[in-house]
């Protein structure tokens, strides 16, 4: 358990930040799932629209430090690549 005043404050901040990050991560995953579902349904327009909604959420998660910026970039890139591939299949 934290003994010093600063350690106690840091522990409180960690609890708060963890809750905020958990919410952000959950929101990001939900948006990504919507894109995945649109891709699986075969509706290219819906998939494109879902990606347009998801991209800023993913980018914001990276900006806030919830996920690494390169991981966020990779996720967006792979989803976009799958949407482009829908036209060829």
Tens digit of each residue's pLDDT (9 = 90 or more) over 53-82 = 999 999 999 999 999 999 999 999 999 999
The upper half-sphere exposure of residue 4, i.e. CA atoms within 13 Å in the direction of its Cβ, equals 3
Residue 61 lies in a domain: yes
Measure the CA–CA gap between 24 and 57, rounded to whole angstroms: 8
Please, what is the average pLDDT of the chain?
95
Structural domain containing residue 80: 26-86
Confidence class for position 89, pLDDT limits 50, 70, 90:
low
Q: Would you state the pLDDT for residue 87?
A: 79
Residues 6+ positions from 26 with CB-CB distance below 8 Å? none
Residue 62 lies in a domain: yes
**CA torsion angle 65 22 19 21 (round to 10):** 10
Residue 59 lies in a domain: yes
Unique residue bearing structure tokens 């919507």: 34
Q: What percent of the chain has pLDDT over 70?
A: 98
What is the per-residue pLDDT across 16-25, written as a single tens digit (0 to 9) for each? Answer: 999 999 999 9
pTM for the full predicted model: 0.86
Residue 12 lies in a domain: no
């Amino acid at each position: 358990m934290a003994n010093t005043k600063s350690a106690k404050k840091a522990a409180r901040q960690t609890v708060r930040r963890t809750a905020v990050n958990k919410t952000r991560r959950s929101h990001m995953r939900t948006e990504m799932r919507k894109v995945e579902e649109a891709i699986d349904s075969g509706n290219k327009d819906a998939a494109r629209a879902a990606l347009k909604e998801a991209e800023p959420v993913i980018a914001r998660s990276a900006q806030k430090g919830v996920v690494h910026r390169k991981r966020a970039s990779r996720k967006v890139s792979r989803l976009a690549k799958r949407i482009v591939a829908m036209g060829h299949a």
